[in-house]
Amino acid sequence: MPNQQSAQAAPPRAVSERVPVVAVTGYLGAGKTSLLNHLLRAPGARIGVVVNDFGALNVDAALVSGQIDEVAGIAGGCLCCLPDAGGLDDALEKLSHPRLRLDAIVVEASGAADPVTLARLIRFSGAERVRPGGVVEVIDSIEHFRTVDTWPDPPLRYAAATVVVIGKSDLLPAGERERTVKRIGERVHARNPHAQLVVAQAGRIDPALVFDTASQTEPEDELPIAALMREEHLGHEGHAHAQATAVPLSAPVAPAALIDLVEEPPDGAYRVKGRARVRGPKAERGYVVNVVGRMIHIAPLPEPPASGELVAIGPHLDPAIAQQALAAVAAAPADRPDVPGLRRLHRYRWLSG
């Protein structure tokens, strides 16, 4: 079970914090819709969805109207074939408007879409209020080696993935299950050693790997239909919990220690997030930090937080080891400005847009 402290540590999103955009990719029939439906039923979260008109997305209309503020459609075929990013940019700009108060935006790509191109479109989107939130590649373990991974070299699409969800392994004969999952993992890591692997049934992954939930209960402004849909699927919607741990930051932190952490997160950490105060040459500044896989996003806060926090989340996280890594940041001396550390922090701030 995850550390309950982490579930309570995530603060309300700051005005300056951008909405994460998560791409869900995978070959035709891999199970993307099942994963999306599972995420949409997560209590306490407000999710926006971008779909394209290349094929139908089988998300129950009642659930969509109850759980999502708006669904944005993109015309022009699969996302990777858009003449420019305008269609996607317009959808992200619309869904990231502050009035919607979304926790995340999920882009469900068609099976024909190229994850590498989609990740690039999101990374360099003209929408000002969004940031990359990771690429979730869904794999059908039954058909994968007959449809996707058919060449001597691993597919390039693995390179874009931050987390790979291996599905349908429960439908394989018992003697093949472990061998197939291991082979998929080896092929993925041959192309992308940093990708996290999650074995899941019917797309049931821990939503904490994808976005921050506002609470563990239904939000007051959620329409009743979403809760009813969850009750209807209650017996089928369990998932293996990701591990998580958190530490409070009651004092300013050394920027070098903070950057060391985000550049080399503890083993098994898929996400690292938090708010921190940093001592500058003239005054303290506040920053919000988000790490997804190997993607680092750092943005300034309007005001330094009175008390900050750091949280690490991962499907294979060792909470004790992660706790030590986070605590080391909290304990690092920060009684004077760290100019080299500030330069490193400002570099990531600049790269984050």
What is the model's pLDDT at position 336? 83
Residue intervals in the chain for CATH 3.40.50.300: 4-236
CA torsion angle for 44, 303, 209, 189 (degrees, to 10)?
170
Binning pLDDT at 50, 70 and 90, where does residue 43 land?
confident
In one-letter notation, the amino acid at residue 285 is: R
Binning pLDDT at 50, 70 and 90, where does residue 70 land?
low
Tell me: pLDDT of 230 over 60: no
Helix (H) or strand (E) holding 183: helix 174-191
Report d(CA 18, CA 5) in Å as an integer. 24
Residue 34 or residue 227, greater confidence: 34
Tell me: pLDDT of 155 over 50: yes
What predicted TM-score, i.e. pTM, was given to this entire model?
0.82
Those residues whose C-beta lies under 8 Å from the C-beta of residue 174, and which sit 6 or more positions away, are: none
What is the model's pLDDT at position 271? 94
55 contacts 166 by C-beta, under 8 angstroms: no
**From 31-45, 62-76, 276-290, the region with the lowest mean pLDDT:** 62-76
What are the Cα distances from residue 312, in Å, to 27, 70, 242, 266, 300? 30, 30, 10, 8, 20
Tell me: pLDDT of 192 over 70: yes
Report d(CA 59, CA 48) in Å as an integer. 13
What is the model's pLDDT at position 21? 95
Tell me: pLDDT of 222 over 70: no
**From 42-56, 88-102, 131-145, 286-300, the region with the lowest mean pLDDT:** 42-56
281 contacts 319 by C-beta, under 8 angstroms: no
**From 115-129, 141-155, 231-245, 299-313, the region with the lowest mean pLDDT:** 231-245
Residue intervals in the chain for CATH 3.30.1220.10: 243-351
Tell me: pLDDT of 351 over 80: yes
Q: 4-236: CATH homologous superfamily?
A: P-loop containing nucleotide triphosphate hydrolases (3.40.50.300)
CATH class of residue range 243-351: alpha beta
Judged by DSSP in three states, 230 sits in: helix
What is the model's pLDDT at position 41? 76
Using the structure block, give the residue that is written with the tokens 């926006």. Answer: 48
**From 110-119, 163-172, 309-318, the region with the lowest mean pLDDT:** 110-119
Helix (H) or strand (E) holding 286: strand 284-292
What is the model's pLDDT at position 90? 87
